[in-house]
Structure 1
Amino acid sequence: MNEFTNNTIEINQLPKFEEVLLKGLNPKYITVLLFNFSLLLVFVILGFSALFYFKQDAFSNTIWTIILVAIVVILAGVVVFAKLSFQKKGYAFREHDAIYKSGLISETTTIIPFNRVQHVALHQGFISRKLGLASVELFTAGGSSSDLEIPGLLLEDAQIIKNLVSQKINPLKLDEPIEVVSTETPLTEEHE
């Protein structure tokens, strides 16, 4: 009979996830990020254009110039921020878990053990699909949204990762017999 043990672990003996070499996202993903930011900016510009068209006298020419300059500065800032934050994103898959790191100002590293994963999904948005990219989402128990999403993967890589995680969470047990259920109806002889 095994005795229960619960020994203390020294902090310096814990594996260091910081030492794991992370793989960067596909460079095409920057296009998806810039498209999403540009779409938001288009709506802002359309809003100010409508305001300018219908209520040109709402602001002085100086204020309208400041608004235009601010939009250009924000657009440039978004492009720079997107490129810098893109370089900080990375992922890795180890034997027992998945790691995803992101964040430019506030860095976040998420580690999900495979034994906690309930479901894995592959997602492609419109622009991602056109670029041959996909995201892999890992779901743990108790949530309706994914606990870990790794965007900017080539579709082929995302499919391989999805299959790997699926095998980790639902391993095929070789010693269990596989039951085959026939869906065909048996033929019966007709007598005249």
Structure 2
Amino acid sequence: MDSAVQFQNEPVDPAALPDFSEVELHSVEAAFRTYQMLSNLLWGLLIGVGVSLAFWLFWGFRAMEWGQWLGLIILIGLQFHAVLDPRYRGWALRDHDLIAREGVIWRGTVVLPIARIQHVETASGPLERLFGLMRLQCYSAGGMTADVVVHGLKPETALRIRSHLLQHIGDAPRG
């Protein structure tokens, strides 16, 4: 090691850091709310039937009514969540990163540097395709799951962002 090279690790003033929360985020498409409501309705019905059957199997036919009430409460909760969810989702693509925000109860924001992205996918299930929606999934090194998933995009928007990211990660120097 060269003795002339001095290692430095100066502290960073948190007040001097750029504030990602000031970035104006794009909202999900309007159809996302309807998609979420139908998706949650299907899941809620499945869970409701499962809860009712579990009550019937473990506590008998009379307890099945309690299971139905519990299933209905779960279904209403899921629908309430579906109505609120789109207003807490957003995304932004900047020169050097992709920002995604989500969460009604547990809120989170992910800022993924474009230089860290190794793989980009677009995906849509049958219900998403029915509503003309697609999601964008970005992966960084070593991850088994996507680091950022942006839900509720129009297919043309998702494909355009994917193309942009792929072009930039192909040009990015790897260290």
- The offset of 1:123, in angstroms, is 0.6
Larger radius of gyration: 1
Do the aligned partners of residues 64 and 167 (structure 1) sit closer, same or farther apart at CA in structure 2, a change above 3 Å counting?
same
What's 1:27 paired with? Answer: 30
Length-normalised TM-score, structure 1: 0.76
Aligned pair 1:134/2:134, yes or no? yes
Q: Do 2:48 and 2:74's aligned partners in 1 also have CA atoms closer than 8 Å? A: no
Q: Do 2:52 and 2:68's aligned partners in 1 also have CA atoms closer than 8 Å? A: no
Structure 1 residue identity aligned to 2:25: L
The count of aligned residue pairs is 167
What's 1:100 paired with? Answer: 100
Seq. identity, %: 28
- The offset of 1:145, in angstroms, is 1.6
Instruction: Give deviations 1:62-86, integer Å, cap 9, x for gaps.
Output: x444333332232222111121122
C-alpha RMSD of matched pairs (Å) = 2.6
- Stretches of structure 1 lacking an aligned partner (at least 5 in a row): 173-192
Aligned pair 1:18/2:21, yes or no? yes
Length-normalised TM-score, structure 2: 0.83
Distance 1:165 1:9 in 2: 29
Structure 2 residue identity aligned to 1:132: G
What's 1:182 paired with? Answer: none
40, 58, 61: which one aligns with 2:60: 58
Provide the secondary structure at the position in 2 that maps to 1:156: helix
Alignment of 1:67-146 (within 5 A): 67-146=67-146
